Amino acid sequence: MDPDATTPPLPEPDALTRRFWEACRQGRLDLCACESCGHLFLPPGPCCPRCWAMRITTRTASGEGAVRTFAVYRRTYHPGLPQPYVVAVIELREGPRLVSNVVGCAPERVRIDMPVRARFENVGEFTLPRFEPAGPEKEPS
């Protein structure tokens, strides 16, 4: 068997996203912050999507957010992604949204508006930000 067969597809960092993934490796969720208008955004981009300013810095997010929408995958599309698993749009407390997984609870317990917090998991050579319930849905680990 291919030794990498159980590693799920991983990000391919580029010049814009490399810092984001490096922050994840250090246990931080870094947002892009526009130095002109203060807008916070993800994914990293070359300019502010609100005012087009080119001066972008970073701000570390709290890691707290809520599920805005989600889907439960009950089919194995990749051996590194055993089903069932939850793919969700997470809205961070600071505003930006990102697509991630909800972990640490049964998929049946995930609901829209459920409070979640970031949890960093090492997968292959990456540290991925995933989200676990911040409330009573969390299962003891």
Give the Cα-Cα-Cα angle 59, 118, 134 (nearest 5 degrees): 125
Asked whether position 51 contacts Zn ion by CB under 5 A, the answer is yes
36 binds Zn ion (CB under 5 A): yes
Q: Is 37 in the site for Zn ion (CB under 5 A)?
A: yes
Using CA atoms, how far apart are residues 129 and 141, in angstroms rounded to an integer? 18
* Token code pair at residue 30: 């870094």
Strands (E), the chain: 30-34, 40-41, 56-60, 64-73, 85-92, 97-102, 115-123, 126-133
Report which of 100, 106, 44, 108 is spatially closest to residue 67, judged by C-alpha positions: 100
Position 48 contacts Zn ion (CB under 5 A): yes
Number of amino acids touching Zn ion (CB under 5 A): 8
Q: Does 39 bind Zn ion (CB under 5 A)?
A: yes
CB of 90 to Zn ion, least distance (A): 22
The enclosing H or E element of 18 equals helix 18-25
53 binds Zn ion (CB under 5 A): yes
96 near Zn ion, rule: CB under 5 A: no
Shortest Cβ 58–Zn ion spacing (Å): 14
CB of 36 to Zn ion, least distance (A): 5
Binding-site ranges for Zn ion (CB under 5 A):
34, 36-37, 39, 48, 50-51, 53
